[in-house]
Amino acid sequence: MPISQVPFAGISNPVDFRNIVINGDMQIAQRSTSVASITTGGYYTLDRFNLGINSLGTWTQSQSTDVPTGQGFATSLKMDCTTADASPSASDYIIISQKFEGQNLQYLKKGTANALPLTASFWVKSTKTGTFILELYDDDNARSISKSYTVSVSNTWEFKTVTFAGDTTGTITNDNGNGLELTFWLGAGSTFTSGTLATSWGSVVNANRAVGQVNIADSTSNDWLITGVQLETGEQASGFEFMPIDTNLSRCFRYYQKIIADAAYTAFGAGSIYGTNTLIVFLPYKQQMRSSPSLAKSGTIIIQQGATSPTTTSITGVNAGKSCLYAEFVASAAGLTQNSGAILQAGNDANAFLELSSEL
């Protein structure tokens, strides 16, 4: 039977991109490959994986080459505890999560009688053994479900699968907002551990979200690594869905884009001068972004107009369309010629960059 005639009756979403997780093989790290002294939440290294933390240790996060042997992975996400906290306060926590747009989740049929179960699979390696919690959080309806998995052997790659029942309550909004969140708990205080683990879908009760979770922040000897993260419909895990690097990168560009100087004096874009110290630039996106992005800069960036090259000091008038971002870069000194062309470029700084962010 030709492939085009193979029936898919009873199979949900039987196409490529069955993995809801983006960058689950940890190949894309636009921001950095290693960041130390982390005590607050945010995106630091691996694209689409967000760190949430509240007063629970100090960490180095990195893109590691420590991976399970023979599984096809080249990189992993590593959390290394550098300042321990063995006695968390009630509200302390540390989590790694990925958020998913609601419009990408409609085939899950959540909030209906036909809601589909989801299975998460991943490789994990941890110095700390014991019980860990994996959670699905429905942001639209403030509902959650948590399941436990066990790290059995210290410093050894182990493959885990966790299945969540379909939720017949709470429809996910069909928009570009956060519809669902997959959360790996790494440590939590009593605010999140003092109840009974919520192994069935229900309204969020903080005390029931991470019951039994070990604390990997209790020693500076502790590391936690993960790769091959997959979330798909059904009650069985399938093999990891590897993506070509260009496809993987393009999907990450929807949420974050870093425009890096290849060398000193690299040009970022061209525009026209408004007034005597402001350059108006249109920056085309590499990929249409999820929403109007924020724009930030780092390093020495200059406005080059003939022999005049003042350093930029601020960005104002940032507006975003579907295909490009309009921004005004203000120079440190006057002297530019109004209504003339100019180039926005790195100064004598090969590490300068611009970044666009529309993360969930």
Per-residue pLDDT, 15: 53
The model's pLDDT over 75-123, given as tens digits with 9 standing for 90+, comes to 999 999 999 999 999 999 999 999 999 999 999 999 999 999 999 999 9
The model's pLDDT over 68-79, given as tens digits with 9 standing for 90+, comes to 999 999 999 999
Nearest CA to 209 among 130, 162, 146, 150?
146
CA atoms of 140 and 200, how far apart (whole Å): 17
Given a cut of 90, whether residue 13 has pLDDT beyond it is no
Structure token pair of residue 260: 């890096």
Helices and strands: H and E segment counts in the chain = 1, 21
Per-residue pLDDT band for 202 (boundaries 50, 70, 90) equals very high
Given a cut of 60, whether residue 21 has pLDDT beyond it is yes
Q: Dihedrals φ, ψ of 208, to 5°?
A: -105, 5
Per-residue pLDDT, 285: 96
Helix extents (H) in 254-305 = none
The model's pLDDT over 246-272, given as tens digits with 9 standing for 90+, comes to 999 999 999 999 999 989 999 999 999
Per-residue pLDDT, 4: 39
